[in-house]
Amino acid sequence: GQLRKDLGKILRKLCEMKDVEIIEAHAMLDHIHMLVRVPPKICISSFMGYLKGRSAVLIHEQHANLKYKYGNKSFWSKRYYVSTVGLNQKTNEKYIREQEADDRIRYIISKRE
């Protein structure tokens, strides 16, 4: 919906401001998968803090109703996963693209059990 679209715009803008290229990204109901190219001059942990912190503030500004769901500006969890990608970049791109369908299948199966 609109939240997903706005979040995409915000993440693209924030990445652009740091010269980070989004290669592939997909927003799920409760998390996001992103394959990005980060310039070597940028510390990954600093970038993740910036991306999660600024995007939380901006998304709360655009969707004030989220404060009732997420409380005091905490939109993201404190954790994140980072891995380097070399020769298997295409595999990672495909994985991210197919996550929504995979998650939907897992949800249907878990509801039947």
Cα 16 from Cα 33, distance rounded (Å): 17
Choose among 17, 22, 18: nearest CA to 33: 22
**Residue 95 is a catalytic residue:** yes
pLDDT in tens, 14-71: 999 999 999 888 887 778 889 899 999 999 999 999 999 999 989 989 988 887 776 6
pLDDT given at position 87: 60
Which pair of structure tokens corresponds to residue 10? 């915000």
CATH architecture of 2-112: 2-Layer Sandwich (3.30)
Instruction: Catalytic residue, from 68, 70, 95, 107: name it.
Output: 95
- Domain range annotation of the chain: 2-112
Q: What is the pTM of this model?
A: 0.75
Helices (H), strands (E): how many in the chain?
5, 2
Which pair of structure tokens corresponds to residue 105? 């299948």
- 3-state SS assignment for residue 34: strand
CB of 89 closer than 8 Å to CB of 23:
yes
